[in-house]
Amino acid sequence: MENDVTSPFLLRADGTPVRVLVVDDEPDLTEVVSGALRYEGWEVRTASDGASALATARTFRPDAVVLDWMLPDADGLTVLRGLRAELEGVCVLFLTARDAVEDRIAGITAGGDDYVTKPFSLEEVLARLRGLLRRAGMARRSDLLQADRLVVGDLVMDERAREVTRGGVVIELSRTEFELLRFLMRNPRRVLSKAQILDRVWSYDFGGKAHVVELYISYLRKKIDAGRTPLIHTVRGVGYVLKPDAP
Amino acid sequence: MENDVTSPFLLRADGTPVRVLVVDDEPDLTEVVSGALRYEGWEVRTASDGASALATARTFRPDAVVLDWMLPDADGLTVLRGLRAELEGVCVLFLTARDAVEDRIAGITAGGDDYVTKPFSLEEVLARLRGLLRRAGMARRSDLLQADRLVVGDLVMDERAREVTRGGVVIELSRTEFELLRFLMRNPRRVLSKAQILDRVWSYDFGGKAHVVELYISYLRKKIDAGRTPLIHTVRGVGYVLKPDAP
DNA sequence: AAGGCTTTTCAGAGGCTCCTCAGAAGAACC
DNA sequence: GGTTCTTCTGAGGAGCCTCTGAAAAGCCTT
């Protein structure tokens, strides 16, 4: 029961849930993102344009904002300035198209905010949001934020350094392998279906089949379990679990 | 009588029964599912299309919805959005055809909702529903939801990790064996007929005979009772009971 | 004690899930 | 621009699960 991703409350210092405002003009996208955030215990509101985002921010007073860079009525930088004026120390995570990245974004990350390029995976958004709040000093309150280091048995992941070791030995992982493993390590001893994994680790626009999950599990096994007592277990007809042998 | 599946009340925090809305255009199916749910103490309503589902949801205000993915008048995602807009924090369990799975299910498991493919077994639907409500924080109020762990004598089942132990020793079970055992463990000290077991554990379209139940009971005995004092007992001409020897 | 019925067990076919390999397309990096 | 790394598709094959049918064992009645 410890280290449970679904522990229903993600609390701030004052005991109220952490609040996030999701702003995007595509309803499907806000639906998926806000759903995942709610599932993880955040208190979520959504908005579909810059004006209503600012209005909602004023009353809702979120700790963080997930904000589309290109909104119908406003440009990202403008909205950012508006938010900054209204909310002291709010964290902002931008969602941007891949080619719109270069320009201004550089300046944003300097200010402590961050961005994710579309199409993104939910794991990516969640990880970045956790990182932002952690850096903003909102950490140590909840289990969900405090894990800079994930540990399962002798397998250790340092999220910030993006380094994984097993028994002290460094393991090189590709981007997708890393995200898959992070998701598994955030849900130890819990069986995760391929659909669940696909929904969280792969981008929302991924058209392929759940077969990729099997493939990447096999990659991970080769790197992590090779020759050692396995941590990744198959539950036939259900999914996969990550767990140490001795509970 | 403790831990009784048919304990007549399944209550929410405010003392009223937990409510679920079942939506499917096949009357036989809603009949079977809603019957089983009522039997377990849920307060149930049914609907046969998207429009009436939303209408019913508005007044009935269910805690969970069992929803066919393919309705005559609407697509699953649309109805989901409607429900979400109307009911804060409602849990949705989708029923889908096997081949429709890969399609557009994407994202729903990330939002905390879940799905079951047709043809399904009632145990599967019930287990998933319990899981949804448990995660939504509706747990600990009622006996029916609180069991993440089922215990009968020295036999322990961890539903989430899908792990079964007897006397601390891990026992590997196949999918069907696991579901059969779960049903038995949810009804300890109660004689279950082969017909009952078949109706609950096997899919509704299963054409075979009750002989499979005998076979799977024998599999379970080999794994669970082998060499130990038996937990599974035959009641000749009636069915089977799971109970510890020393009461 | 025998016969008839229920239950248990065995053996095997078929189906299905999952794992792995090989290769093509794409992205990142120099 | 070329090289390397990464991601994904498809096919083949291994192994596990499920179910059928038949034979053996057990229980109850007569």
Give residue A104's pLDDT band: very low, low, confident or very high (50, 70, 90): low
Beta bridge partners of A156: A151, A165
Q: How far is CA B42 from CA B21, B84, B104, B113, in A?
A: 10, 21, 30, 19
User: What is the rounded average pLDDT of the residues A27-50?
Assistant: 91
User: What is the rounded average pLDDT of the residues A126-131?
Assistant: 92
Q: Which residue ranges make up each domain of chain A?
A: 19-136, 144-242
- The structure's pTM equals 0.92
Residues of B in contact with A35 (CB under 8 A): 107, 110-113
Within 7 Å: CB of B221 and strand C? Answer: yes
Query: In the predicted model, what is the mean pLDDT of chain A?
Result: 87
Out of A3-7, A153-157, B37-41, B233-237, least confident range: A3-7
| A119 prior amide bond cis, ω within 30 | yes
Instruction: Give the integer Cα–Cα distance in Å for A31 and A52.
Output: 17
Instruction: Give the integer Cα–Cα distance in Å for A225 and B133.
Output: 35
pLDDT of residue A3: 39
CB within 8 Å: B110 and A243: no
Instruction: Give the integer Cα–Cα distance in Å for A199 and A194.
Output: 9
Nearest to A115 by CA among A163, A65, A187, A176: A65
Identify whether the C-beta of residue A95 lies closer than 8 Å to the C-beta of residue A115: yes
Beta bridge partners of A68: A95
By Cβ distance, the residue of A1, A6, A32 closest to B135 is: A6
Fold of A144-242: Arc Repressor Mutant, subunit A (1.10.10)
Identify whether the C-beta of residue B161 lies closer than 8 Å to the C-beta of residue A243: yes
CATH number of A19-136: 3.40.50.2300
pLDDT of residue A28: 86
pLDDT of residue B14: 62
Within 7 Å: CB of B174 and strand D? Answer: yes
CB within 8 Å: A195 and B109: yes
Nearest to B194 by CA among B153, B142, B148, B235: B235
Within 7 Å: CB of B175 and strand D? Answer: yes
Nearest to B114 by CA among A224, A193, A20: A193
Within 7 Å: CB of A175 and strand D? Answer: yes
Q: What Rg do the C-alpha atoms of chain A give, in angstroms?
A: 19
Q: Looking at CA atoms only, how far is residue B196 from chain A in angstroms?
A: 24
Instruction: Give the integer Cα–Cα distance in Å for B18 and A174.
Output: 45
Sequence-separated (6 or more) residues with CB below 8 Å from residue B45: B19, B20, B21, B22, B56, B60, B62
Instruction: Give the integer Cα–Cα distance in Å for B3 and B188.
Output: 8
**From its phi and psi, is residue B242 left (phi > 0), alpha (psi between -120 and 50) or beta?**
beta
Instruction: Give the integer Cα–Cα distance in Å for A98 and A114.
Output: 14
Q: Count of alpha carbons within 13 Å of A221, Cβ hemisphere only? A: 14
Phi, psi torsion values for A163, nearest 5 degrees: -120, 135
Nearest to B39 by CA among B14, B20, B26: B20
Q: Tens-of-pLDDT digits for all 247 residues of chain B?
A: 334 444 445 666 666 788 999 999 999 999 999 999 999 899 999 999 999 999 999 999 999 999 999 999 998 888 998 998 899 889 999 999 877 666 667 788 988 899 999 999 999 999 999 999 888 765 444 555 556 799 999 999 999 999 999 999 999 999 999 999 999 999 999 999 999 999 999 999 998 899 999 999 999 999 999 989 999 999 999 999 999 975 5
pLDDT at A98 over 90: no
Within 7 Å: CB of A43 and strand D? Answer: no
- Selected residue with higher pLDDT from A181 and A78: A181
pLDDT of residue A1: 37
Q: Residue B34: count other Cβ atoms within 10 Å of its Cβ.
A: 19
Q: What is the pLDDT of residues A198-211, one digit of tens each?
A: 999 999 999 889 99
CB within 8 Å: B107 and A32: yes
Nearest to A21 by CA among A72, A76, A58: A58
Instruction: Give the integer Cα–Cα distance in Å for A178 and A224.
Output: 11
Q: Looking at CA atoms only, how far is residue B108 from chain A in angstroms?
A: 7
Within 7 Å: CB of B236 and strand D? Answer: yes
Q: Residue A207: count other Cβ atoms within 10 Å of its Cβ.
A: 8
- Selected residue with higher pLDDT from B176 and A13: B176
Sequence-separated (6 or more) residues with CB below 8 Å from residue A35: B107, B110, B111, B112, B113
Chain A residues 159-198 within 7 Å (CB) of strand C: 194
Q: Looking at CA atoms only, how far is residue B245 from chain A in angstroms?
A: 28
Structure tokens at A227: 């020759």
CA B217 to C1' D21 (Å) is 18
CB within 8 Å: A198 and B162: no
Within 7 Å: CB of B98 and strand D? Answer: no
Give residue A107's pLDDT band: very low, low, confident or very high (50, 70, 90): low
CB within 8 Å: A199 and B162: no
Identify whether the C-beta of residue B205 lies closer than 8 Å to the C-beta of residue B119: yes
List bases, strand D, within 7 Å of protein CB. 5-11, 16-22, 27-28
CA B167 to C1' C16 (Å) is 33
Which of B162, B170, B175, B176 best probes binding to A when mutated, by most A CB atoms within 10 angstroms? B162
* DSSP states of chain B: -TT-TT-S--B-TTSSBPEEEEE-S-HHHHHHHHHHHHHTT-EEEEESSHHHHHHHHHHH--SEEEEESB-SS-BHHHHHHHHHHHSTT-EEEEEEEGGGHHHH-TTTTTTT-EEEEES--HHHHHHHHHHHHIIIIITTSSHHHH-SEEEETTEEEETTTTEEEETTEEE---HHHHHHHHHHHHSTTS-EEHHHHHHHHS-TT--S-THHHHHHHHHHHHHHTTTS--SEEEETTTEEEE--S--
pLDDT at A212 over 80: yes
Sequence-separated (6 or more) residues with CB below 8 Å from residue B83: B53, B54, B57, B65, B67, B90, B92
Instruction: Give the integer Cα–Cα distance in Å for B228 and B245.
Output: 11
- State the nucleotide closest to B234 in CA–C1' terms: C7
Sequence-separated (6 or more) residues with CB below 8 Å from residue B21: B44, B45, B46, B47, B53, B56, B57, B60, B62, B64, B65, B66
By Cβ distance, the residue of A6, A196, A236 closest to B175 is: A236
pLDDT of residue B239: 97
Q: What is the pLDDT of residues B61-93, one digit of tens each?
A: 999 999 999 999 998 888 998 998 899 889 999
Out of A107-111, A124-128, B154-158, least confident range: A107-111
User: What is the rounded average pLDDT of the residues A109-115?
Assistant: 79
CA A208 to C1' C24 (Å) is 16
CB within 8 Å: A210 and B102: yes
CB within 8 Å: A38 and B148: no
CB within 8 Å: A31 and B115: no
By Cβ distance, the residue of B110, B136, B137 closest to A35 is: B110
CB within 8 Å: A241 and B174: no
Identify whether the C-beta of residue B113 lies closer than 8 Å to the C-beta of residue B132: yes
pLDDT at A48 over 60: yes
pLDDT at A4 over 60: no
